[in-house]
A = this chain, B = another copy of it.
């Protein structure tokens, strides 16, 4: 292991990340909300730590290879999550313990959007802005991770778009390709954010709320500046804008890339994963609306409005609330939570297992039934016109089984901390799918969840964001032996 190259990268990341304190300082000064101090201190501390971490590798010529890639990818979230918690810990309002500050920061950066804070509406503007911005930066990180980095490690949904067998790419010099791809993605991401913010603003949000919510919408993060989330604005127009941008952000970013290059929307309609995603989300919107209507939970158009919004919000793993769903008959939120296990497209800011994997699992399930009826038949699994290699299919099964296994182990541990079954199941699903909201004791927020459980949930968020295998590989003895 070449630790110097790892330290160099982390040092640079920390120095860059320290700059994230500056906009919040600006907001604090502008609104005179008395929170300049925590951001100022954090800026200096994080920057200095960054230099100290970077210094030993000054002049080193080591290059990052796949092996270091695994570690850097995992450490990226842990290190920035810790750094990001600093101003939240230092701030006088809200008065957070270290656990809570870390949870909030980590939940933000991984775009999970679970919050331990109640009384958002009364927080200093700079803190609110900072939380939204954490999600936005996290979202950007995820796209770069998913499009450029995970495939090089042989992990992640984008893998499934490659015709070859999964596994790390051969090229050992990763840096130039990452930089080039990241730049293009950055422009798309920024473009979406600006348009979304303008739309929210035009629809009646204040400029502050518009920018804040566009950050967390495009990042599929789900943080809000209001306790009541999107429901605060009680506006069908704002909800519609949110729906559009959540569905857009849940698309594979390489589709956006192609669309902007070719000035054509055709790519979206030719992508089997996105088609599948849209089909399921359409069905879920209907099902939810019907469910609300038939159980008389909501009446008339409101059933359609709330059902559709929550369906999109949860299946994309955004986690915004229009009316909330904890008071609905349990099978409806349960169904919603199930959809978050599917999630958006690979290489989007969405969480979950990713639509492409579920599509492949579904097709393979059907194939097994066909094979039972016609044991001598040959049934290739196709996505679009492309036949998927058995090697890739095995990787999808593997992902599913390991996901379920990990989920089950963590659920047992959460129950052992004393959570009840519904709460534990929902917050764990929410964390691993990077969704945000919980049920049971976590219906309103995560303030009542015990501290050990919060740390386990942070770990689950990381697992979800790294599509599990990155972390598992690092924990396997084989990784360190070679």
Instruction: Given A330-B421, A420-B330, decide whether A167 and B415 contact each other with a Cβ distance below 8 A.
Output: no
A365 at the interface (CB under 8 A from B): yes
The residue on B at minimum CB distance from A330 is B415
Q: Could you tell me if A402 and B330 are in contact, using CB atoms closer than 8 angstroms?
A: no
Instruction: Given A338-B412, A364-B394, A422-B422, decide whether A166 and B330 contact each other with a Cβ distance below 8 A.
Output: no
Bound Cα distance from A397 to B396, whole angstroms: 10
- Taking CB atoms, residues of chain B closer than 8 Å to A420 are 330, 422
Q: Name the segment of A201-209, A307-315, A469-477 touching the other chain.
A: A469-477
A317-331 CB contacts (< 8 Å) to partner B: 329-331
Bound Cα distance from A401 to B476, whole angstroms: 25
Residue interface bits A410-447, CB-to-B below 8 A is 1, else 0: 01110110101110010000000000000000000000
A386 at the interface (CB under 8 A from B): no
The residue on B at minimum CB distance from A167 is B375
* Residue with the greatest number of chain B CB neighbours at <10 A, chosen from A398, A411, A469: A398
Could you say how many copies of this chain the assembly holds? Answer: 2
Q: Could you tell me if A472 and B369 are in contact, using CB atoms closer than 8 angstroms?
A: yes
A372 at the interface (CB under 8 A from B): yes
* A side interface size, CB within 8 A: 56
Q: Could you tell me if B482 and A167 are in contact, using CB atoms closer than 8 angstroms?
A: no
Instruction: Given A334-B412, A415-B330, A422-B421, decide whether A398 and B166 contact each other with a Cβ distance below 8 A.
Output: no
Instruction: Given A369-B473, A369-B478, A390-B390, decide whether A412 and B335 contact each other with a Cβ distance below 8 A.
Output: yes
Bound Cα distance from A425 to B153, whole angstroms: 37
Bound Cα distance from A364 to B404, whole angstroms: 14
- Taking CB atoms, residues of chain B closer than 8 Å to A182 are none
Bound Cα distance from A329 to B393, whole angstroms: 39
Within the complex, which residue of B153, B373, B404 is in contact with A478, where a contact is CB–CB below 8 Å?
Answer: B373
- Taking CB atoms, residues of chain B closer than 8 Å to A478 are 369-370, 373-374
Bound Cα distance from A476 to B368, whole angstroms: 12
- Taking CB atoms, residues of chain B closer than 8 Å to A167 are 371-372, 375-376
Q: Could you tell me if B338 and A401 are in contact, using CB atoms closer than 8 angstroms?
A: no
Report the minimal beta-carbon distance from A108 to chain B, rounded to whole angstroms.
28
Q: Could you tell me if B412 and A401 are in contact, using CB atoms closer than 8 angstroms?
A: no
Instruction: Given A167-B376, A338-B412, decide whether A398 and B368 contact each other with a Cβ distance below 8 A.
Output: yes
Bound Cα distance from A416 to B365, whole angstroms: 26
Bound Cα distance from A190 to B476, whole angstroms: 48
Q: Could you tell me if B329 and A416 are in contact, using CB atoms closer than 8 angstroms?
A: yes
Residue interface bits A380-412, CB-to-B below 8 A is 1, else 0: 000000000010011101111110110010011
List residues of chain A with CB under 8 Å of any chain B CB. 153-155, 165-168, 329-331, 334-335, 338, 361, 364-365, 367-376, 390, 393-395, 397-402, 404-405, 408, 411-413, 415-416, 418, 420-422, 425, 469, 472-473, 476, 478-479, 482
| Further contacts, 16 of them, CB under 8 A, given A155-B372, A368-B469 | A166-B375, A167-B371, A168-B375, A330-B421, A331-B412, A334-B411, A334-B415, A365-B402, A368-B399, A368-B402, A373-B478, A374-B482, A390-B390, A394-B394, A394-B397, A400-B401
